């Protein structure tokens, strides 16, 4: 899709952070935007900040983990704007921990949001984009954690690897239907992502209680030192218009990718040199 101008975008996680910034930048480039989020008050604030023109911005409360809520949100978008061209499956939460210590209900919670939320968005919206024949674009928010997986963040990393792999498949599958696919893979961005794990189903400390915890403070400082989400969103819009698959951000983090592929190369060379599977 070469132009965002005049298109209709649906953005999950649109009440905060990267979703809100992508909505802002798409609006600036002439799109109309439906914001979707489970945070009703956040949505109200976001709409008030973006535009009072309901032909440009509207919102719908929606939990991406629930497929039926995405279906209703899609219907609300069609009712309001007539059609959808750009879908941003962006809502996500963070969860880390050590093996043996992460309750399975928390694992299911993050998979339902970070992976199934993306699946629900694709399943519902891809046929709707195909049906109007004007083409479109799907952006799934992955992460650098979908390419390089440091310890301590197993559940988050697993969901983001899944989103990257799924997006790579979608790219090939949706190309014949004139639907482009991008996977946004940022490093640290200045948002509220590090506070989302406090909503996990097993409970644990509240955000208020965690504020004195040195581990939380360290993460808070890292996130506050992250990129401006509006700048990332500008780059996302450029990459959508260029139909780029991977949307990377931090130059410095390429070193992690290089190290990973060096490891893959070395381990592949080991079996080639061994020769036991030679045809």
Ligand X SMILES: NC(=O)c1ccc[n+]([C@@H]2O[C@H](COP(=O)([O-])OP(=O)(O)OC[C@H]3O[C@@H](n4cnc5c(N)ncnc54)[C@H](O)[C@@H]3O)[C@@H](O)[C@H]2O)c1
Query: Which residues bind to ligand X, rule: CB under 6 A?
Result: 12-13, 15-19, 37-39, 42, 62-65, 90-93, 113, 141, 143, 186, 188-189, 191-193, 196, 223, 226
Smallest distance, ligand X to C-beta of residue 90, A: 5
Residue with Cβ nearer ligand X (63 or 106): 63
Phi, psi of 181, deg, nearest 5: -135, 135
Phi, psi of 137, deg, nearest 5: -150, 140
> How is residue 259 written in tokens?
């190290």
Residue with Cβ nearer ligand X (21 or 32): 21
> How is residue 25 written in tokens?
């930048």
DSSP codes, the chain: ----TT-EEEEETTTSHHHHHHHHHHHHTT-EEEEEES-HHHHHHHHHHH-S-TTTEEEEE--TT-HHHHHHHHHHHHHHHS---EEEE-------B-TTSS-HHHHHHHIIIIIHHHHHHHHHHHHHHHHH-S-EEEEEE--GGGT---TTBHHHHHHHHHHHHHHHHHHHHHGGGTEEEEEEE-S-BSSSGGGGGGG-TT----HHHHTT-HHHHHHHHHHHTSB-HHHHHHHHHHHHHTT-SEEE--GGGHHHHHHHHHHHHHHHHHHHHH-TT--
Residue with Cβ nearer ligand X (18 or 47): 18
Residue with Cβ nearer ligand X (82 or 201): 201
Smallest distance, ligand X to C-beta of residue 241, A: 20
Smallest distance, ligand X to C-beta of residue 117, A: 6
Question: How many residues are there in the chain?
Answer: 279
Smallest distance, ligand X to C-beta of residue 88, A: 10
156 catalytic? Reply is: yes
Smallest distance, ligand X to C-beta of residue 160, A: 7
Residue with Cβ nearer ligand X (168 or 278): 168
Q: Could you list the active site residues?
A: 156
């Amino acid at each position: 899709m070469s132009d965002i101008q005049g298109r209709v975008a649906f953005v999950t996680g649109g009440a905060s952070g990267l979703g809100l910034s992508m909505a802002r930048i798409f609006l600036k480039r002439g799109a109309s935007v439906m914001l979707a989020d489970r945070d009703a008050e956040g949505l109200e604030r976001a709409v008030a900040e973006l535009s009072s023109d309901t032909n440009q911005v509207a919102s719908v409360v929606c939990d991406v983990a629930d497929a039926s809520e995405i279906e209703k949100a899609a219907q609300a978008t069609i009712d309001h704007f007539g059609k959808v061209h750009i879908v941003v499956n962006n809502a996500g939460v963070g969860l880390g921990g050590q093996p043996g210590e992460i309750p399975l209900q928390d694992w299911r919670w993050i998979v339902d949001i970070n992976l199934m939320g993306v699946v629900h968005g694709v399943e519902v919206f891809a046929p709707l984009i195909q049906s109007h024949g004007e083409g479109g674009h799907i952006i799934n928010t992955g992460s650098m954690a979908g390419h390089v997986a440091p310890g301590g963040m197993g559940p988050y990393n697993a969901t983001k690897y899944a989103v990257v792999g799924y997006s790579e498949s979608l790219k090939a599958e949706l190309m014949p239907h004139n639907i482009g696919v991008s996977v946004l893979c940022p490093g640290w961005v200045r948002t509220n992502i590090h506070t989302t794990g406090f909503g996990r189903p097993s409970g644990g400390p509240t955000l208020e209680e965690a504020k004195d915890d040195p581990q939380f403070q360290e993460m808070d400082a890292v996130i506050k030192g992250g990129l401006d989400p509006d700048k990332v969103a500008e780059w996302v819009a450029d990459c959508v218009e260029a139909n780029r698959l991977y949307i990377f951000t931090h130059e410095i983090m390429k070193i992690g990718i290089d190290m990973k592929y060096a490891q893959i190369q070395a381990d592949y060379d080991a079996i080639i040199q061994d020769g036991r599977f030679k045809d």
